[in-house]
Amino acid sequence: MRELPPGLFELPRASKVQGAFESARLTQARVRAGKNKADLAREVGVSAAAIGQYESGVNAPRADVLDRLAEALGVRPDFFAVGRPIARIDAVNAHFRSLRSARVSDRQRALATAALLWELTFTLERYVRLPDANLPQIKARMSPSDGAALLRMHWGLADGPVKHLVATAEAHGVVIAVRPLGEIDAVDAFSAIIVDRPIVVTTPRRSENVFRHRFSIAHEIGHLLLHSDSDGHSATVEKEADEFAAAFLTPAASMDVALPQRLDIAALDRLGRTWGVSPHSLVRRMVERGRTTESSARRAYQRLSAVADPTADPTRSYPGEVPTLLRKAAELAADYGVGAPALAEAMKISPGLVRDLLGEKDERPSLRLVSGNR
Amino acid sequence: MVPVSPPAALGLHTSDVRELVVAAVTSRHTRFAEAHEVSGSRYAMGFGSQWLDLLVDVHDELRRRGYRTYRLPPAGYKLPVVNDCLVYVWRVPGSADAPSSFASSPTRVNVFHAPPLDPTLFEPGYTGEPEPGSSADVDGADLERVVRAATDSVMPLVLVMVRSTPRQLQSITWAVAELDEDAGTVNFHGQESIWTPEAVVANPTTDVEPFDSGTPQGPTVEPQEQEGSEPDA
Q: B77: Cβ–Cβ under 8 A, 6 or more apart, which residues?
A: B52, B55, B71, B107
CA–CA distance, B5 with A285 (Å, rounded to integer)? 37
Supply the ipTM of this predicted assembly: 0.79
Read off the DSSP letter of residue A321. G
What is the pLDDT at residue B134?
A: 42
* pLDDT band of A367, cuts 50, 70, 90: low
What is the pLDDT at residue B183?
A: 84
* pLDDT band of B151, cuts 50, 70, 90: low
CA–CA distance, A106 with A99 (Å, rounded to integer)? 11
pLDDT (mean) for A57-71: 90
Q: B201 and A261 in contact by Cβ < 8 A?
A: yes
- C-beta neighbour count of A55 within 10 angstroms: 19
What is the pLDDT at residue A366?
A: 64
What is the pLDDT at residue A271?
A: 93
Q: Is the minimum CB–CB distance between B206 and chain A shorter than 8 Å?
A: no
In angstroms, the separation between the Cα of residue A37 and the nearest Cα of chain B is 33
Contact status, residue B69 vs residue B75, Cβ threshold 8 Å: no
CA–CA distance, A73 with A351 (Å, rounded to integer)? 15
pLDDT at A124 over 90: yes
pLDDT at A334 over 70: yes
Average pLDDT value for chain B: 81
Q: B18: Cβ–Cβ under 8 A, 6 or more apart, which residues?
A: B174, B194
* pLDDT band of B142, cuts 50, 70, 90: low
Beta-bridge mates of residue A131? none
pLDDT (mean) for A210-214: 94
Pick B229's closest partner by Cβ from A261, A320, A338: A338
Q: A325 and B219 in contact by Cβ < 8 A?
A: yes
Q: Is the minimum CB–CB distance between B25 and chain A shorter than 8 Å?
A: no
**Residue A124 vs residues A127, A129, A201, B220, B221: alpha-carbon distances, Å:** 6, 8, 18, 14, 11
CA-closest candidate to residue B217, choices A10, A306, A131: A131
pLDDT at A18 over 60: no
Which residues does chain A have within 8 Å of residue B232's beta carbon, measured at their own beta carbons?
346
pLDDT at A41 over 90: yes
Q: Is the minimum CB–CB distance between B1 and chain A shorter than 8 Å?
A: no
Pick A162's closest partner by Cβ from B29, B211, B224: B211
pLDDT (mean) for A98-117: 74
CA-closest candidate to residue A123, choices A329, A361, A372, A364: A329
Buried/exposed B14-46: b ≥16 CB within 10 Å, e otherwise: bebbbebbeebbbbbbbbbbbbbbeeeeeeeee
Select the more confidently predicted residue: A167 or B122: A167
pLDDT (mean) for A69-79: 88
Helix, strand, coil tally for chain B in percent (to 5): 35, 25, 40
Q: Is the minimum CB–CB distance between B40 and chain A shorter than 8 Å?
A: no
CA–CA distance, B106 with A359 (Å, rounded to integer)? 77
What is the pLDDT at residue B63?
A: 92
Q: For the CA atoms of chain B, what is the radius of gyration?
A: 26
- The number of C-beta contacts closer than 8 angstroms across A and B is 139
pLDDT at A165 over 90: yes
What is the pLDDT at residue B181?
A: 86
What is the pLDDT at residue A347?
A: 87
Question: Phi, psi at residue A86, to the nearest 5°?
Answer: -135, 135
Q: B219 and A336 in contact by Cβ < 8 A?
A: no
Q: B208 and A292 in contact by Cβ < 8 A?
A: no
CA–CA distance, A36 with A48 (Å, rounded to integer)? 9
pLDDT (mean) for B139-161: 71
* pLDDT band of A12, cuts 50, 70, 90: very low
Beta-bridge mates of residue B91? B162
Q: A296 and B31 in contact by Cβ < 8 A?
A: yes
Chain A residue with minimum CA distance to B210: A274
pLDDT (mean) for A132-139: 90
What is the pLDDT at residue B111?
A: 93
Contact status, residue B223 vs residue A127, Cβ threshold 8 Å: yes
Question: What is the rounded end-to-end Cα distance, in angstroms, of chain B?
Answer: 95
What is the pLDDT at residue A23?
A: 87
What is the pLDDT at residue A359?
A: 82
Domain boundaries, chain B: 6-195
Classify the C-alpha dihedral A261-A267-A273-A274 as positive or negative: negative
Q: Is the minimum CB–CB distance between B212 and chain A shorter than 8 Å?
A: yes
Q: B30 and A263 in contact by Cβ < 8 A?
A: yes
Q: A129 and B224 in contact by Cβ < 8 A?
A: yes
pLDDT tens, residue by residue, A222-268: 999 998 776 556 778 888 999 999 999 999 999 988 998 778 888 89
In angstroms, the separation between the Cα of residue A36 and the nearest Cα of chain B is 33
pLDDT (mean) for B11-16: 90
Contact status, residue A341 vs residue A352, Cβ threshold 8 Å: no
What is the pLDDT at residue A295?
A: 85
pLDDT (mean) for A302-322: 86
Residue B111: helix, strand or coil by DSSP? helix
Which residues does chain B have within 8 Å of residue A276's beta carbon, measured at their own beta carbons?
210-212
Of A87-101, A113-127, A276-290, the range with the lowest mean pLDDT is A87-101
DSSP codes, B168-219: EEEEEEEEEEEEETTTTEEEEEEEEEEE-SHHHHS-TTTTS--TT-S-----
Which class for B140: exposed (0-12), middle (13-18), buried (19 or more C-beta within 10 A)?
exposed
CA–CA distance, A245 with A225 (Å, rounded to integer)? 11
- % chain A with pLDDT above 90: 38
In angstroms, the separation between the Cα of residue B145 and the nearest Cα of chain A is 35
Of A153-157, A188-192, B14-18, the range with the lowest mean pLDDT is A188-192
| Residue type for position A218 | A
Pick A276's closest partner by Cβ from B211, B216, B231: B211
* pLDDT band of B174, cuts 50, 70, 90: very high
What is the pLDDT at residue B169?
A: 84
Q: Tell me which range, A191-200, A250-259, A303-312, B216-225, is most confidently predicted by mean pLDDT.
A: A250-259
DSSP codes, A190-225: EEEEETTEEEEEE-HHHHSBHHHHHHHHHHHHHHHH
Select the more confidently predicted residue: B57 or B229: B57
Which residues does chain A have within 8 Å of residue B22's beta carbon, measured at their own beta carbons?
none
Which residues does chain A have within 8 Å of residue B29's beta carbon, measured at their own beta carbons?
261-262
pLDDT at A130 over 70: yes
In angstroms, the separation between the Cα of residue B121 and the nearest Cα of chain A is 35
The model's pTM: 0.62
Helix (H) or strand (E) holding A251: none
Chain B residue with minimum CA distance to A271: B205
Query: How many degrees, rounded to 5, is the angle at CA A29 between CA A23 and CA A30?
Result: 90
| Residue type for position B120 | T
Q: Which of B221, B226, B229, B232 to mutate to test the interface with A (most CBs of A within 10 A)?
A: B221
CA-closest candidate to residue A11, choices A2, A26, A27, A24: A24
Which residues does chain A have within 8 Å of residue B164's beta carbon, measured at their own beta carbons?
none
Pick B212's closest partner by Cβ from A320, A324, A325: A320
DSSP codes, A77-110: GGGGBSSS-EE-GGG--EEES-TTT--HHHHHHH
Average pLDDT value for chain A: 83
pLDDT at A33 over 60: yes
Chain B residue with minimum CA distance to A270: B205
